[in-house]
Amino acid sequence: MEKTWRWFGKKDKITLSMLRQIGVEGIVTALHDIPNGQVWPYDAVVEMRDYIAAAGLRWSVVESLPVCESIKYGGADRDRLIENYIESLAHLGQAGVKTVCYNFMPVLDWARTDLEHPNPDGTSSLYFDRADFAYFDCCILKRKGAEADYAPETMEQVERKRKTMTPEGEHKLVENIIIKTQGFVNGNIREDDERPVEVFRGLLGLYEGITREQLRENLRYFLSAVMPVCDRYGVDLCVHPDDPPLQILGLPRIVSCDDDIRWLLEAVDNPHNGLTFCAGSLSAGAHNDVPRLARKYASRTKFVHLRSTDVLPNGDFKEASHLAGRAGIIDLVRIFEKENPALPMRVDHAPLMLGDEKMGYNAGYSFHGRMLALGQMEGVMAVVDREIAEGKI
Ligand code: DNO
């Protein structure tokens, strides 16, 4: 697979020349300065493409071209926003940037409660603590009926937390769940929003009455509208699975399991309607057998995220080493290297280590941690390529 790296543009502290030195081949990025919903101008796309090329790399994947909430819940202005999306796709296609990742998760993209969960070896990782999340939902957001979504044991933990929680502790949860994990991936909540919880409640309100079926129909509507431009320019769209692949905050989530993936690929049966195989997200659902999903959907996979998680009996999950956990990455590399050795892959959500924690990187996107993980993946790929060349697999 092509070794790619998520890079956040010219302001990223990790420069393209650093990435060249560690063996990165392709860049995964977006035009982060353009607000969601606006057209990405052709000239801006070309400028970014050429900037990356001048460093000896190529712009392999767009992550993400964000889908506005209104397209997801079916708002009055969705057709206009879809037209803008189509125009951006055309500009990307004309410029030769032909793999575009997006997601269809309402309001909240990925969810974590702790961004620096200490590991015994002195590094730290991202962590999802179910009781902390329930505390955020029931006691900070105060979502109506939230209590009913959690097991009695979780609610007992929430009650215990209620007695000891400090304002700082609450602030940290808000920061982790709706600011630091979201700010850089979508424009819903900004670092400088004064009342992030209220903004967030407003966003949740937009989905009142939107069922799973309705959200599916809105995804079908969106995909049907954008496929012609993908056909015209040979652009592959690839949906990112829900992270975690579970219902949260009373919102429908529709890319969480085998059935969901099958539904979305069949609903608009076009080879450009593809999947971002995020092994980490899928692995965080105990219902998912990740290598089995990879075997089943390899031919519709356009982009691979290699990472892994451990799911704990109480519903918590934590990021695992890229060589361990329940994603089964060694098998995934075997499957995808055989399917298509040109498939772009990237690692993410690696630990903070060796000073990463002082650098203010976006959550999950450390330098040393990702560099180590990329090296591990490179090693696995070298072994697998030899297995393939020798006809062993
Ligand atoms: C988190 C990422 C996601 C992903 C988007 C794609 O680290 O994996 O935010 O980029 O969901 O649209």
Band of residue 186 on the pLDDT scale cut at 50, 70, 90: confident
The Cα 250–Cα 313 span in angstroms is 22
Residue 164 DSSP SS3: helix
CA of 110 relative to ligand 1 center, distance in Å:
7
Does residue 115 lie in a domain region? no
> What ligand 1 atom has the least distance to the C-alpha of 365?
7
| Tokens of residue 226, six digits | 């954008």
| Tokens of residue 280, six digits | 């980490």
Last residue of a domain, one of 171, 205, 239: 205
Nearest residue (by CA) to ligand 1, atom 7, is: 364
Q: Which of 384, 239, 216, 221 is nearest to 301 (CA)?
A: 239
The answer to whether 237 and 99 are in contact (CB under 8 A) is no
In this structure, the answer to whether residues 248 and 314 fall within a common structural domain is yes
CA of 67 relative to ligand 1 center, distance in Å:
12
170 sits in which H/E element:
helix 167-174
In this structure, the answer to whether residues 240 and 362 fall within a common structural domain is yes
Best residue among 101, 240, 276, 282 to mutate for probing ligand 1's pocket (most ligand atoms within 8 Å of CB) is 240
What does the pLDDT look like over 112-132, one tens digit per residue? 999 999 999 999 999 999 999
Q: What is the pLDDT of residue 190?
A: 79
Does residue 363 lie in a domain region? yes
Written as one letter, the residue type at 307 is R
The answer to whether 101 and 4 are in contact (CB under 8 A) is no
In this structure, the answer to whether residues 379 and 240 fall within a common structural domain is yes
Does residue 117 lie in a domain region? no
User: Across residues 163-173, what is the average pLDDT?
Assistant: 97
Residues annotated as catalytic are 240, 278, 305, 348-349, 365
Q: What is the pLDDT of residue 194?
A: 85
Does residue 119 lie in a domain region? no
Does residue 335 lie in a domain region? yes
**Ligand 1 neighbour 109 (Cβ under 6 A):** yes
What does the pLDDT look like over 67-116, one tens digit per residue? 999 999 999 999 999 999 999 999 999 999 999 999 999 999 999 999 99
In this structure, the answer to whether residues 288 and 196 fall within a common structural domain is no
Give the number of other Cβ atoms within 10 Å of residue 358's Cβ.
7
User: Across residues 221-235, what is the average pLDDT?
Assistant: 98
The answer to whether 281 and 252 are in contact (CB under 8 A) is no
Q: Residue 70 belongs to a domain with what CATH number?
A: 3.20.20.150
The Cα 29–Cα 159 span in angstroms is 42
In this structure, the answer to whether residues 20 and 151 fall within a common structural domain is no
Q: What is the pLDDT of residue 296?
A: 98
Last residue of a domain, one of 184, 205, 226: 205
Band of residue 42 on the pLDDT scale cut at 50, 70, 90: very high
Q: What is the pLDDT of residue 335?
A: 98
Range of the domain at 335: 2-110+210-389
71 to 81, 84, 215: CA distances (angstroms)? 7, 11, 10
Does residue 106 lie in a domain region? yes
187 to 86, 107, 357: CA distances (angstroms)? 19, 10, 24
Last residue of a domain, one of 205, 222, 248: 205
In this structure, the answer to whether residues 36 and 184 fall within a common structural domain is no
User: Across residues 159-188, what is the average pLDDT?
Assistant: 94
The answer to whether 381 and 304 are in contact (CB under 8 A) is no
For the cut 90, the answer to whether the pLDDT of residue 189 exceeds it is no
Does residue 70 lie in a domain region? yes
The Cα 210–Cα 313 span in angstroms is 31
Q: What is the pLDDT of residue 19?
A: 98
In this structure, the answer to whether residues 136 and 223 fall within a common structural domain is no
Band of residue 187 on the pLDDT scale cut at 50, 70, 90: confident
For the cut 90, the answer to whether the pLDDT of residue 191 exceeds it is no
For residue 323, give every residue at least 6 positions away whose Cβ sits within 8 Å of its Cβ, in sequence order, or none: 329, 330, 376, 380
Does residue 159 lie in a domain region? yes
Q: What is the pLDDT of residue 165?
A: 97
134-139 long-range contacts, CB within 8 A, separation 24+: 134/158, 135/161, 135/162, 135/165, 135/173, 136/173, 136/174, 136/177, 137/249, 139/165, 139/170
Q: What is the pLDDT of residue 192?
A: 81
In this structure, the answer to whether residues 307 and 266 fall within a common structural domain is yes
Instruction: Tell me the pTM.
Output: 0.97
In this structure, the answer to whether residues 165 and 233 fall within a common structural domain is no
**What is the residue whose two structure tokens read 């796709």?**
89
Which of 148-152, 181-185, 216-220, 264-268 is predicted with the least confidence, judged by mean pLDDT?
A: 181-185
CA of 241 relative to ligand 1 center, distance in Å:
9
- Mean pLDDT estimate for the chain: 97
The Cα 200–Cα 182 span in angstroms is 11
374 to 18, 24, 55, 377: CA distances (angstroms)? 14, 9, 19, 5
In this structure, the answer to whether residues 317 and 173 fall within a common structural domain is no
**Reduced 3-state DSSP string for 315-359:** CCEEECCCCCCCCCHHHHHHHHHHHCCCCEEEECCCCECCCHHHC
Q: Where does 89-196 show beta strands of DSSP type E?
A: 99-103, 114-118, 124-128
Q: What percent of the chain has pLDDT over 90?
A: 96
| Tokens of residue 47, six digits | 């400028």
In this structure, the answer to whether residues 241 and 293 fall within a common structural domain is yes
31 by Cβ neighbours in 10 Å (0-12 / 13-18 / 19+) ranks as middle
Number of domains the chain contains: 2
Q: What percent of the chain has pLDDT over 70?
A: 100
> What ligand 1 atom has the least distance to the C-alpha of 66?
12
What are the φ and ψ backbone dihedral angles of 304, each rounded to 5 degrees? -125, 135
In this structure, the answer to whether residues 217 and 321 fall within a common structural domain is yes
For the cut 90, the answer to whether the pLDDT of residue 5 exceeds it is yes
